Amino acid sequence: MPEASLSFAEVRFIDREEVLADLRRAAAAARRACAEIRRVFLIGSLVRGNWTAASDADVVVVVEREFADLLERSRYQIHSAMIPTDTLVYTKAEFEALAADPHSVLSQNLACALEL
């Protein structure tokens, strides 16, 4: 006899304004906790207006410090209760170099970025 399986679907709607408010709160909390955070940007589909229910929030964090390894960057992740986040953490020098490179993904997204 075949085993019973569960079938379900999750329906998720994104209220962009509520998500932006939550991301702004999260960015403000991160700045309070980590004084070395200089800037926080939202890039990607939520800014461009072509998000879907499966979208995440693409966040860029600029920090005034250097990192010995990749793991040190993890403490600067921005988290939202409303939407998954993908946080890219850059030193100020890395950010400036990528922003000046017209071929970088960061540079190509900064024109429409939303500073949080």
Task: Give DSSP secondary structure letters for 56-78.
Answer: -EEEEEEESS--SSGGGGGGG--
Q: What is the rounded average pLDDT for all residues in the chain? A: 90
Residue 62 lies in a domain: yes
pLDDT at 10: 58
Residue 5 lies in a domain: no
Distance CA 88, CA 61 (A): 6
pTM reported for the whole predicted model: 0.85
**Looking at the predicted structure, is the pLDDT value of residue 3 above 80?**
no
Residue 4 lies in a domain: no
The number of distinct structural domains making up the chain is 1
Residue 71 lies in a domain: yes
**Looking at the predicted structure, is the pLDDT value of residue 84 above 70?**
yes
Residue 10 lies in a domain: no
Residue 73 lies in a domain: yes
Give the distance from CA 7 to its chain's centroid.
32
Q: What is the DSSP letter of 4?
A: P
Residue 81 lies in a domain: yes
The pLDDT of 89-100, averaged and rounded, is 97
CB 43 within 8 A of CB 60: yes
Expressed as residue numbers, the domain containing 73 is 16-115
**What CATH number should be reported for the domain holding residue 84?**
3.30.460.10
pLDDT at 58: 96
Pick the residue with more confidence: 105 or 52? Answer: 105
Residue 1 lies in a domain: no
Distance CA 51, CA 13 (A): 10
Pick the residue with more confidence: 70 or 109? Answer: 109
CB 41 within 8 A of CB 57: no
* Each residue's pLDDT tens digit, 15-65: 889 999 999 999 999 999 999 999 999 999 999 988 888 889 999 999 999
